[in-house]
Amino acid sequence: MTRANDPKLRSWVEVPHDSDFPIQNLPFGVFRTPGLRPRLCTAIGRYVADLQVLAEHGFFDDLGVPRYVFSRPFLNDFIALGKTATRAVRNRLSELLDDNLEDWDASELAGYFLHLRDEVQMLMPLKVGDYTDFYSSREHATNVGAMFRGKENALMPNWLHLPVGYHGRASSIVVSGTPVRRPKGQMQVQEGAPPVFGPSGQLDFELEMAFVIGRDSQLGASISTADAEDYIFGLVLFNDWSARDIQKWEYVPLGPFLGKNFASTISPWVVTLDALEPFRVEGPAQDPQPLPYLQCDGPRSFDIQLEVELQPAGGKGKPVCHSNFRYLYWNMAQQLAHHTVNGCNIRIGDLMASGTISGPGPDSFGSLLELTWRGANPIPMPDGSERKFLLDGDTVIMRARCEKDGVRIGFGEARGKVLPPF
Ligand code: MN
């Protein structure tokens, strides 16, 4: 447990009780203002703290961390310094913002490095090289399988033996707040009929989290479950927008393609694995026992509460889903061990998404496909309308947070508004 996680710490920056960003969180992101070029920041209460300014004042010099990494437009160079360095920076930030540490008091400089979050623009925090999407929620895979193949064949024979995944597209990953265009494509509206072309009529969200690769691996080498977490820098919220009608027509036999790769939205804050450490829990029991390369010791999941809010254009929003990261059957260490077991290498900034995180109850399903059971049970909205799938003008807002010992660590939002197609 690092210094920064101490639940007793308090900051001289006011932190509202319902804030995602107490002094115990200190996630990393990238921001700009009309007057400031993109640079690295952390979040504290209602503020972002400008790390470039803190670096220019020499606050990180004794840590052996070069100043230039803080004035980059992405976190990648910072992450590349390695966990010893990034952990030292997070601990130093914890000292600088601590109410009780006079030696490291940075409060006199507050006017130079703190900006209200509402007044800055948060940017895409990572240069994502490769993006992989897993399919690791047993509940989600069972629900979707039951809908598409019937209850008896819901889980494919491989599912309980390996973390199923596919390679997604990094170019269309966007930061929270970026609008999402309804995709157009080919779909088969009626069984046996010829396909038609047009805007998707079944646009959906997928509630996911993704982990950020923090260390390169070597081509040809594998990462064990025991070492996997050394390669994980932190986590973001992830909305894997999906066009169900396009997906259904195209996915046989090679899997998802245009029904998935038009957009994915991430939260602007990368919450470090260090910050999540107090919330570590066991995942679900695994039966049958996985092959040896997928076995791991100790608790490998995290208790992260998840929520999806759906907001119609001009209307009041409504929470449509409450789930939890801990429901995932396959954990991150297993996903990474599987991903690299054939010698596939990973690189800093790669994103590995969990797959839709559905829980056991019907209000914990992580997609509209499941929540409405393919449109059979529409969701009533506060404005009197109902939703089977997303309409133009709808905004989807995902949130995630952990709570324990009076400390709440949150991820902020992954928010996106649906725009009509071009
Ligand atoms: Mn997905």
Please state whether the predicted TM-score (pTM) of the whole model is above 0.85: yes
315 — pLDDT class (breaks 50, 70, 90)? confident
In this predicted structure, the answer to whether residue 326 has a pLDDT above a threshold of 70 is yes
pLDDT exceeding 70 applies to what percent of the chain? 100
Q: How far is the CA of 99 from the centre of ligand 1 (A)?
A: 42
Q: How far is the CA of 393 from the centre of ligand 1 (A)?
A: 22
Domain boundaries, the chain: 3-122, 131-419
Per CATH, the number for 3-122 is: 2.30.30.230
Q: How far is the CA of 171 from the centre of ligand 1 (A)?
A: 16
Task: Identify whether 140 is a catalytic site residue.
Answer: yes
pLDDT tens figures, 235-265: 999 999 999 999 999 999 999 999 999 999 9
**165 vs 141: CA distance, rounded Å:** 12
CB atoms within 10 A of CB 33: 14
CB atoms within 10 A of CB 189: 12
Q: How far is the CA of 361 from the centre of ligand 1 (A)?
A: 20
Catalytic residue (one of 115, 140, 338, 339): 140
In this predicted structure, the answer to whether residue 102 has a pLDDT above a threshold of 80 is no
User: According to the model, what pLDDT value does residue 148 have?
Assistant: 81
Q: How far is the CA of 61 from the centre of ligand 1 (A)?
A: 41
Per CATH, the number for 131-419 is: 3.90.850.10
2 — pLDDT class (breaks 50, 70, 90)? confident
Q: How far is the CA of 211 from the centre of ligand 1 (A)?
A: 14
